[in-house]
Amino acid sequence: MARRVRLFGLASLVVVSDQREIDDLIDHPGLDRSFVHAGPFLNRLVVRRILRQFELDGRMLLSMRPRADSERRQGQAELFRRLDSFASGGGWSPDAIKAMADYVATGEQFERAVSALTYVTAMPFLGPEARAVFDERQFRRLFRLTRRIARANAPFSLTGFFIRLVGADRRAKRKLLAFACGDEYGLHALMVTIDNGLTILDNLRARMVESQANGGRPAPKLAWLSGRTGPAVVVRQLKVEFTLPHVRGRLPPHTLVLLRMRRALRADIQGGFEFAASHWSACPARSYVVAVFDAVCKSVAAPQPAGGRTP
């Protein structure tokens, strides 16, 4: 059963951590992401943070528009086609794939791996000449810009407060947008997808360590399902008083529903849940992300012992 959090005058939240309940609620007609800065104090703080992260020139990024927004629907369909094409055709630099695979295999050269992750995230939004080139220094700088934005959005962070105060996160967003050739979806990918990618790399590294500890040969066992993850939290807002499945009682307007997809993801859940694949907000990058990390897994080589012989 979803957990309801009610603090009079402070918060009205619903926290959902079960896969079946999330599937029932994520498409519910009473919920959407056309966020209104209203409701109890904590709700307003959460909405303000969402709006600051995903607004550009006073309007929400296409990727975060409401369900019925026609621009969002058209843009999502076009992005599906573009990313599916890259997923089937590849085109990314082999050096970037190797950099991530080396980190998974050894746990070393993390900075090179995150530079490579930034490159493969940005690659579909770059010009044709830039797509095939993995410049480690350039993408390391871009990765640092994404971390600046992430720190700015961290709640109760003094560093984040200072970044917001001086507007450094907004400047970082504009630099990322310019690098992505003005593509809002590219900006969204660099702000959001990289966080999931970091978790996937760490999950794959953890599976490798487990296999090594057990004396097994880890490389053939690694695949997308070994490291997959979902968004930490997906947020929806209730606009009017309403009742929802799995929630006791009527909910007041502006209640926030927090769908903890990463917590709900289990090994026995069919692939696709992590991308909300069967829902209106399905991630257009699902095939592309799987293709990239499948390529990484295939490139992972188990470290050889001294003398170069496999035990």
Helical ranges in 239-284 per DSSP H? 261-264
Residue 197 C-alpha from the chain's centroid: 7
State yes or no: pLDDT of 77 exceeds 60.
Answer: yes
pLDDT (average), residues 13-41: 93
pLDDT (average), residues 12-21: 96
DSSP for 34-101? ---S-SSHHHHHHHHHHHHHHEETTEE-GGGS-TT-HHHHHHHHHHHHHHHHHHHH--S-HHHHHHHH
State yes or no: pLDDT of 195 exceeds 90.
Answer: yes
Fold of 3-299: Cytochrome p450 (1.10.630)
**For residues 124 and 265, what is the distance between their CA atoms, to the nearest angstrom?**
27
Question: Any idea which of 54-58, 139-143, 165-169, 247-251 has the lowest mean pLDDT?
Answer: 54-58
pLDDT of residue 211: 75
State yes or no: pLDDT of 304 exceeds 60.
Answer: no
Tokens of 272: 């696709």
State yes or no: pLDDT of 87 exceeds 90.
Answer: yes
State yes or no: pLDDT of 250 exceeds 70.
Answer: yes
Grade residue 155 by pLDDT with cuts at 50, 70 and 90: confident
State yes or no: pLDDT of 216 exceeds 80.
Answer: no
Conformation bin of residue 193: beta by default, left when phi > 0, alpha when psi is -120 to 50: alpha
State yes or no: pLDDT of 17 exceeds 80.
Answer: yes
pLDDT of residue 291: 96
